[in-house]
Chains A and B, each alone.
Chain A
Amino acid sequence: MLRLCLSALLSHWRRHPLQGISILTGLWLATALWTGVQALNDQARADYARANALLAGAAQTQLVARQGERFAQSAYVQLRRAGWPVSPVLEGRLRFAGREPVSVRLLGIEPLSLPADSSVAGQSTQGFDLLHFLTPPGQAWVAPDTLQRLGLKPGDQPTSADGQRLPPLAVQAQLAPGVMIVDIGQAQRLLQAPEQLSRLLLPNDFARTLPALPDNLRTQLQLQPAADNDDLQHLTESFHLNLSALGLLAFLVGLFIVHAAIGLALEQRRGLLRTLRACGVSLRALIGALALELGLFALIAGLAGVLSGYLLASLLLGDVAASLRGLYGAQVAGHLSLSPQWWLAGLGISLLGAALAGLNSLLRSAQLPLLALAQAQAWRQAQALWLRRQSALAIVLLLIAAACWRWGDSLPSAFALLASLLPAAALVLPALLDAALALLSRLCSTPLSQWFIADSRQQLPALALALMALLLALAASVGVGSMTEGFRQTFLGWLDQRLSAELYITPRDTRQGLAMRRWLDEQPGVEAVLPQWRLELRLQGLPVQLQGMLDHDSYRQHWPLLEQQPDAWASLASGKGLMLSEQLARRLKLHLGERLALPTTPPSPALPVVALYADYGNPRGQLLLNDELLRRLWPGATLSSLNVRLPAEHVPALKAQLQSRYRLDSTRLVDQGTLKRWSVEVFERTFAATAALNSLTLSVAGVALFISLLTLGQSRLGQLAPLWALGVTRRQLAWLSLGQTLMLAGLTVLLAMPLGILLAWCLVAVVNVQAFGWRLPLHVFPMQLAHLALLGLFTSLLAAAWPLWQLARRQPADLLRQFADER
């Protein structure tokens, strides 16, 4: 019975292949975009996990320096000889010169002392090739991806920017991207840190019953508990949530198509359903057959969608990886390696999508009375009820959005705001369009123009979903576009101010930095040398950069402050105040004028926050204090860079002198122009993936519109035939239909603009603040709006063109037939 029923139902698709294609396309696009975004997220998260699990497990207790970043190797030997089973690690960034300088995270390990149950890059410490790793020339382990990024092959021995030759490169597939592992002796040579260590790993069972540190080490080292290591996961969470939100939007837009197509197919098969029921097919069997049919579509489209999603993710991964590097310093591989679960989840989401999109139609056909099934009026009544429910739902969603805006203070609540605002807007769209058309109809006096409006209203229910999709996609484009462009302008303006020095020098170490500073002070033409002292530590569990600032007019003029107390720079200079980056202040929940105690030993008095400043693109919170104060509290602070002010024409000469005198390569000696160019490049790449996803969503909406018009075109002959009979030519009819489509699309585009701006406001004032910690001013760019509006109309035009072309070419016989077998 089911089989018979199914084959009767499936025959529909033979006669209306277009509808079948619509459903498949909708599900395919929805699945592809959603799984593609999930693939990007999964890959990135897997890479963070790999980076975290580089040594042993993520949960590894460590001893780290109390002061500065490194400590003497003698502490390791002393602890070993006191019976502590510690293992030394030296970590640092190894730079490679080149047109675009690259750096890797260099990790020096000592394989013999690694805890027995630990693993390095997925290999057990008992299993790896010690002889080659330990004996000269040694080995440098890298992931295939890193090798590719460096443009090198296995076995190569490249030279670092500091002129040190690396051991031969060896590929370790399990290694996290952007990481290089060498023996600790090699690391000390490459990083020019002889007898220096970054941390000591403790085996987990030993860490549980820890003896007290020897007295002389207690002031040097401190215990860092295992749980503090997942910064990356935490920092990037908001980025992935953003990506997911875009993916979800695309998924929903895709489902609109499916929903429209399924609804239409069901409407056209009312007669068939009635006949089947009258022949004795039970309601259960009928619904079962319909569900089975839907499942079949979901399976086919799901497979295609998952494959395309994979393809899409591979195409976008490069940009996403660049974004993550630029924004968070997170390293993500440039190629995908996905688990079987991902593929299954992709199929699952396709089934879920089909169920969501089709459930409504299934329920409606199940609930319609048997005899009413074939009456168009019954369907319309149901439709009217549905519209009322739709409006009620929209109101509920708007209330939720308002509540989220009023009381929410987390990233999920910010997204809940968007997630309720956008569908609410989409749901009220048909009502708004209808009202607008009603208004227009009063202006029309000629019969044809009155028909024009009335017929448009008639089309509205069938086109509503496609127009909703267009509204959402356009609004998202406007919102994301305004946000990105606004961020871009703010960022560039900030960069111009902030990068005020002509030359930026990164000394190899503090000693070299001090020598350079003395030498630079004596050079003619140098107006100022501004040293930046730096220290990394944790404040309330968050990684924070402390930066020591010399008191200098250059900062007063060029360091942009967002909020400040009177004489902020003077209090900073006298050591009586601190300045916080915007994101740090938000994370610590500190406001201007509140006090913050720095974690010094012995404790020092809390200092007031005298100013907040923008620090875009820095994943870590930053805190400014007077340089002398910083060095007094933490003698281990490092001189991280020297910013040199001098007339621009002297820059090349001074650069050349520095290069030859201190053997500095191009990555340690950067002029203002180059630094700006790098920063802008990072910025551009950061938003490339967002822009790509955004335009994809818009094209999905275009497809939705196209398919709706296509299906509509076939059922509209009944309405058009009388006009033709009254003397309107086919060509005229086509133009009129085009006008109708463009009018509806135009109204939708008009409504999308304010909605997009509202969305942009949500993004900059709510989502960004929660996600990144900075609040940007809201910019509206009229040219950008006009551009997107035209794009929206053009999309609609394209979507309408083909069905109209067909209409214009219809044989008169087709139109005549409408009168013969009127439904």
Chain B
Amino acid sequence: MNAKPVLILLALLLASCDPPAPPSTGFAGLGQQAGEFAQVERGHGLQFPADHGAHDGFRIEWWYVTANLTDSDGRSWGAQWTLFRSALRPGGEQQGWESPNVWMGHAALSGPFGHQYSETLARGGIGQAGVAVSPFHAWIDDWTLRSLGGDGLQQLEMHATGKDFNYRLQLRSDRPLVLHGDQGYSEKSGQGQASYYYSQPFYQVSGEIERAGQRFSVTGQAWLDREWSSQPLAAGQSGWDWFSLHLDSGAKLMLFQVRQENAAPYRAGTWIAADGQATPLKPEQITLTPLAWTRLANGRRVPTHWRVALSQPTLTVEIQALLPQAWMGTRFPYWEGPVRISGDSNGRGYLEMTGYAP
């Protein structure tokens, strides 16, 4: 998932300066020219564990975990933990308040009591937020995503607190990481915009969540996304729809479409077999069709019921939001929530949608 983001400030920032940014710079300014930031290149290859850490030369980056959970009464829950890094200017990390980095955390809990979310922001350079590589530890305020042992991301603890909710979950996986696109080089348009992108979609989860003063023991599956770039979107791309799906067969599916002004959406994805074998999906292999729209309390309309069709392997499923009102009313607002899969295969997953105007 991805590109979420972004938010950031980046853009925001850009958008709030004197001349309003033209709409063609994409959601949250992700379509801005990258200037002197480091560029994403094909064939560069990824290196672990170093690439689990922050990439200060790049403009934006995120550590993104979504979990589909079930409590002891069989009820479905979803949990989201996200850390964004955004550099306000090129030049790499600096100590102290002069650091160009701004960090942003989003956490959400969706379930029988509705959708709750929380947001926090921190400046880089002073230790309030950051990512350590070995052992792995990403944090902002008291929210953490940290390794429980080993150099990599095999065993993680994920914790966040919001108003009226918190969770502490243990994530375990012995499968290898999945590199999207061409060895982690993931294209976002036909014109070369791209990001580095890898995932760990095979986590088994157990832990505790607390909501409105009640505690629940939960188990389930989780998916981690890591992505960084300096200009992941092309000018004229206005938003995206992103799917991370756990099929009951054990296979995983990542799909996205970037919606473009005056053009058909740019689509891509990765089919991940139950044994971890990943196959990139070409744009023409994917069909995404909104079936039903939800009017949110804030007046926006978003598609919360989709038909997803693949030609190779052949698969047709319907995706339905568990909580159609799962809106993240953060500084850079978007829709993100757990979904149920039915059709050729059953399962569950997460859906993220950005760029739907009010």
Judge whether A15 is part of the interface by a CB distance below 8 angstroms. Answer: no
Report if A134-B128 is in contact (Cβ < 8 Å); known contacts: A83-B142, A112-B102, A112-B121.
Answer: no
A185 touches B13 (CB 8 A): no
Judge whether B14 is part of the interface by a CB distance below 8 angstroms. Answer: yes
A81 touches B141 (CB 8 A): yes
Q: Give min CB distance, A62 to chain B, whole Å.
A: 19
Inter-chain CA distance A202–B227, complex, in Å, is: 34
Q: Which chain A residues numbered 177 to 222 have a C-beta less than 8 Å away from chain B?
A: 183-186, 188, 194-195
Judge whether B309 is part of the interface by a CB distance below 8 angstroms. Answer: no
Number of cross-chain contacts by CB at 8 Å: 63
Q: Give min CB distance, B171 to chain A, whole Å.
A: 21
Residues of B within 8 A of A663 (CB): none
Inter-chain CA distance A80–B139, complex, in Å, is: 11
Judge whether A110 is part of the interface by a CB distance below 8 angstroms. Answer: yes
Residue among A73, A77, A130 having the largest count of chain B Cβ atoms under 10 Å: A130
Inter-chain CA distance A130–B121, complex, in Å, is: 13
Inter-chain CA distance A136–B9, complex, in Å, is: 16
Which of B16, B88, B128 is the one whose CB lies under 8 Å from A77? B128
Residue among A76, A113, A195 having the largest count of chain B Cβ atoms under 10 Å: A113
Q: Give min CB distance, B308 to chain A, whole Å.
A: 36
Residues of A within 8 A of B141 (CB): 80-81, 83, 85
Residues of A within 8 A of B120 (CB): 85
Tell me the nearest residue of chain A to B11, going by C-beta: A131
Inter-chain CA distance A131–B100, complex, in Å, is: 10
As a 0/1 sequence over residues 111 to 124 of chain A, the CB contacts with chain B under 8 angstroms (1 = contact) are: 01100000000000
Residues of A within 8 A of B121 (CB): 112-113
Residues of A within 8 A of B102 (CB): 112, 134
A112 touches B14 (CB 8 A): no
A183 touches B16 (CB 8 A): no
Which of A80, A110, A131, A188 is the one whose CB lies under 8 Å from B17? A131
For chain A, which range describes its interface: under 10, 10 to 19, 20 to 34, or 35 or more residues? 20 to 34
Q: How many residues of B contact A (CB 8 A)?
A: 25
A183 touches B97 (CB 8 A): yes
Which of B16, B88, B126 is the one whose CB lies under 8 Å from A135? B88
Residues of A within 8 A of B215 (CB): none
B97 touches A131 (CB 8 A): no
Report if A185-B97 is in contact (Cβ < 8 Å); known contacts: A77-B128, A130-B9.
Answer: yes
Q: Give min CB distance, A129 to chain B, whole Å.
A: 6
Judge whether A562 is part of the interface by a CB distance below 8 angstroms. Answer: no
Tell me the nearest residue of chain A to B120, going by C-beta: A85
Tell me the nearest residue of chain A to B91, going by C-beta: A136
Which of A82, A130, A188 is the one whose CB lies under 8 Å from B16? A130
Inter-chain CA distance A317–B79, complex, in Å, is: 59
B17 touches A81 (CB 8 A): no
Judge whether A126 is part of the interface by a CB distance below 8 angstroms. Answer: yes
A184 touches B139 (CB 8 A): no
A82 touches B142 (CB 8 A): yes
Residues of A within 8 A of B12 (CB): 130-131
Inter-chain CA distance A83–B122, complex, in Å, is: 13
Q: Give min CB distance, A70 to chain B, whole Å.
A: 16
Inter-chain CA distance A129–B96, complex, in Å, is: 21
Inter-chain CA distance A83–B163, complex, in Å, is: 12
B126 touches A73 (CB 8 A): yes
Q: Which chain B residues numbered 79 to 103 have a C-beta less than 8 Å away from chain A?
A: 88-89, 96-98, 100, 102
Judge whether B123 is part of the interface by a CB distance below 8 angstroms. Answer: yes
Judge whether B295 is part of the interface by a CB distance below 8 angstroms. Answer: no
Report if A135-B142 is in contact (Cβ < 8 Å); known contacts: A110-B123, A130-B9.
Answer: no
Q: List 27 A-B contacts (CB under 8 A).
A: A73-B126, A76-B128, A77-B127, A80-B128, A80-B141, A81-B139, A81-B142, A83-B141, A83-B142, A110-B123, A112-B102, A127-B16, A128-B16, A130-B12, A130-B16, A131-B9, A131-B12, A131-B13, A131-B16, A131-B88, A134-B102, A134-B123, A135-B89, A135-B100, A136-B89, A136-B98, A185-B98
Known A85-B141, A113-B121; 14 more pairs at CB < 8 Å: A76-B128, A77-B127, A80-B141, A81-B127, A81-B141, A81-B142, A82-B142, A112-B122, A112-B123, A131-B17, A132-B17, A134-B102, A134-B123, A185-B97
